[in-house]
Structure 1
Amino acid sequence: MRVLIVEDEPALAGAVRDGLRLAAIAADTAGDGHTALELLDLNSYDVAVLDRDIPGPSGDDIARAIVAAGSGLPILMLTAADRLDDKATGFELGADDYLTKPFEMRELVLRIRALARRAPRSTPPVHELAGITVDPFRREVYRDGRYVALTRKQFAVLQVLVEAGGGVISAEELLERAWDENADPFTNAVRITVSALRKRLGEPWVILTVPGVGYRIDADDAAARPVDDHTTESAPRA
């Protein structure tokens, strides 16, 4: 899950971001309306958390833009404006939930997860490449019919590589797409995750390192392709 936090107080924005990360929720932050609109254009989010009183376009303006875009992105207004009239105005603008400051981090996490569950979504296609089947909807991976248990990050990295159809993906792009914008570009997280992913998938190794460039799936010139139905068997129970 990836969340956009629009908050102009850096300390609070950082605290919320760190709290969400501890709950395994990736979060990007925007300190003003212009940055928020740019991030909404660049990235796909599961929930937008908006402070109403921010520099540039206000939180209300951001909410109007989200609604006008027709994306169905759930909006949670997180603000000090706690009068009933303020809440009514927020809901009229398109907010799906409203939480006033001060607040408990645990409650914010619960509300974000509830909004993400209720959001209408189309079922993403299953992809197959080099004997690997990746089902984003069920979050399942199979190799040659064998179920492979992966962590969230391992799954995200594998999904990017499989969808590339055997093309090379740089470490920088993997870091950008599988982590969030605050990830350290000098971290070795990608290398460590790819190494662990290779071991989970087993031999023969299917993820190749292209020195100085990045990583790719050894697809023997095959292309990743959508699968029309979910024909994989259920994962074995623990």
Structure 2
Amino acid sequence: MTEFFIGMAVMLVLAAALWIWSKTRNRKSAREIRVFSSIEQLKAIGQLSVYKVLTKEIVTETDHTWGEIGNRYLSWVLSGKKMAMIFEFEIDFRYNLQSPYFQIAEKAENTYAVKMPPCDYEVNIRDIRFYDEQGSRLLPWLLPDLLNGFLSGGFSEENKNKLVDAAKKHAEKQALELINNIQSEVQKSAKSTLESISRAFGATAIEFSFATPEATQVSVEMSEKIAS
């Protein structure tokens, strides 16, 4: 009888040892899968928008960025008619996580070094309106009645397109200045976002390095209500 109980105890000990070993092995395997998943999920995000700037500029006189067409039409409107132009645009800061410049290297268990690609910028002119100081009211972009009354030959579609291009060039200049001045804030936002995502997949420590070339050009889009 004693031998029976001893045998049962040995069997129980062996069973417990096998159970602990299997659980330990499963946890290790699961951790490795999470690490692999974290890297794959991070790369699968694609375009990651980390920062957005909405800005409103009040223009009372044109500068060289508006070019000849801007000076020809807008200078007269702003000075002769005592108006101010309200220029509203937004900048979206994005990182392409599918770029070959985006790299993740494992330094130790659950510790990674992340090399970020250069930031992409998307600029969109949301609205352009004029403020009539005398009438204390807002007027729409391009003021066709005003311009047609001023120009003996009328305001053609070609002139309109040239003025729209001048507005894009002005927005590009303003956007480039802003982009190059707030790089640290954009990188801080990107770091915070990616740390949250990575930790959800098991990473505990992440080191970031950013490419910070000076922005020299951006693509500027116009909202439909301005371009139409």
TM-score (norm: length of structure 2): 0.22
**Structure in which a larger fraction of residues adopt helix:** 2
Structure with the larger RCO, 1 or 2 (CA within 8 Å, 6+ apart): 2
Structure of larger gyration radius = 2
**Structure in which a larger fraction of residues adopt strand:** 2
